[in-house]
């Protein structure tokens, strides 16, 4: 049955191939007056139908769009080795950070201005050579400056971008995984502000965010470190900030199944 389903998907995907870019179309799918399809990106680049030279219609191929939403799409980087399949809702998110496709240096997100573009597998070597001040292979990162700061952390076989910012009297710090949100949720980050040899400390733990999310969205989500700058200054001693960021994997708690007797009724006693 799986083999038949896969063959059917392959046949339907062939109908979804754009005649211009040869990539699989996703909604909205445009039509010409003779009923030929074209993807929305290519529709903006050509004046007439590439198949029959007819004018484009304002009508969309709603039937084909409905089919597209039920299919699993292969990654655009399939020619370089990615064999994963994704629904229409998740294919774009995956392709933006696919290990088999080229990505920009993540530090461009913090305005470093690096021209490098390559595969994720080569990012560690690039960062170590070109950005040693931002590079770390540890899961724990120490921040000593009360100013904007970034770091690339290579641990757990993944790449993380840590970013700290102070704006309008607010202190923000977030860790993002160079990957989709589904993968980012497997990790958590602990932010700890403390004063050496004193009792006071602030410790908060959040799930790691995805690199595909812009910083403003992360900061406004409330799911990252966000404090009043005056509070943070309490943890600055002789112009040195004591902030420790620790990454770890999320340990999922196994559900506990209560034992039953032969009648299917919960046993009384310590479980009740």
Where do the CATH 3.30.40.10 domains begin and end in the chain? 2-71
Q: Where does the pLDDT of residue 177 fall: very low under 50, low under 70, confident under 90, or very high at 90 and above?
A: very high
Give residue 254's pLDDT: 60
Rounded to an integer, what distance in angstroms lies between the CA atom of residue 115 and that of residue 176? Answer: 21
pLDDT tens digits along 92-123: 888 887 878 888 999 999 989 999 999 888 99
pLDDT tens digits along 212-251: 889 999 898 888 999 999 999 989 988 889 999 999 999 8
Contacts of 150 (CB under 8 A, 6+ apart): 107, 110, 112, 134, 161, 162, 163, 164
Structure tokens, 218: 């992360």
Structure tokens, 56: 């484009």
Structure tokens, 66: 């409905």
pLDDT tens digits along 20-39: 998 889 899 999 999 999 99
Where do the CATH 2.60.210.10 domains begin and end in the chain? 105-249
Task: Report which of 70, 98, 69, 74 is spatially closest to residue 86, judged by C-alpha positions.
Answer: 74
Q: Does domain 105-249 have CATH number 3.90.550.10?
A: no
Q: In angstroms, what is the C-alpha Rg of the chain?
A: 25
Is pLDDT at 259 greater than 60 in this prediction?
no
Give residue 261's pLDDT: 55
Rounded to an integer, what distance in angstroms lies between the CA atom of residue 155 and that of residue 248? Answer: 9
- Write the CA distances from 235 to 4, 80, 192, 200, 240, integer angstroms: 63, 49, 10, 9, 8
Length of the chain (residues): 272
Contacts of 257 (CB under 8 A, 6+ apart): none
CA 31 to chain centroid: 33
In terms of DSSP bridges, do strands 209-210 and 170-177 run parallel, antiparallel, or are they unpaired? parallel
The CATH code of the domain at 2-71 is: 3.30.40.10
Phi, psi dihedrals of residue 78, rounded to the nearest 5°: -65, -30
- Write the CA distances from 4 to 9, 67, 153, 187, integer angstroms: 9, 17, 44, 37
Rounded to an integer, what distance in angstroms lies between the CA atom of residue 262 and that of residue 253? Answer: 28
Contacts of 84 (CB under 8 A, 6+ apart): 74, 75, 94
Instruction: Name the more confident of 136 and 73.
Output: 136
Structure tokens, 247: 């990454």
């Amino acid at each position: 049955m799986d083999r038949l389903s896969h063959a059917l998907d392959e046949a339907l995907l062939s109908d979804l191939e754009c005649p211009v870019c040869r990539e699989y179309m996703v909604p909205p799918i445009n039509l010409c007056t003779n009923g030929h399809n074209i993807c929305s990106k290519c529709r903006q680049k050509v004046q007439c139908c590439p198949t029959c030279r007819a004018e484009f219609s304002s009508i969309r191929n709603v039937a084909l769009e409905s089919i597209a939403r039920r299919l699993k799409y292969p990654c655009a980087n399939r020619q370089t080795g990615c064999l994963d399949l994704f629904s229409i809702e998740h294919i774009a998110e995956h392709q933006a950070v696919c290990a088999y496709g080229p990505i920009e240096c993540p530090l461009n997100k913090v305005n470093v201005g690096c021209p490098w573009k390559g595969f994720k597998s080569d990012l560690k070597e690039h960062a170590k050579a070109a950005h040693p001040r931002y590079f770390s292979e540890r899961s724990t990162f120490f921040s000593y400056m009360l100013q904007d700061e970034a770091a690339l952390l290579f641990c757990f076989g993944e790449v993380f971008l840590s970013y700290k910012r102070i704006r309008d009297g607010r202190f923000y710090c977030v860790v993002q995984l160079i990957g989709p949100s589904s993968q980012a949720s497997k990790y958590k980050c602990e932010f700890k502000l403390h004063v050496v040899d004193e009792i006071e400390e602030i410790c908060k733990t959040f799930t790691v965010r995805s690199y595909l999310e812009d910083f403003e969205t992360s900061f406004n989500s409330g799911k990252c470190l966000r404090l009043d700058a005056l509070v943070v200054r309490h943890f600055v001693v002789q112009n040195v900030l004591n902030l420790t960021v620790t990454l770890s994997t999320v340990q999922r708690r196994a559900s506990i199944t209560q034992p039953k007797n032969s009648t299917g009724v919960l046993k009384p006693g310590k479980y009740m």
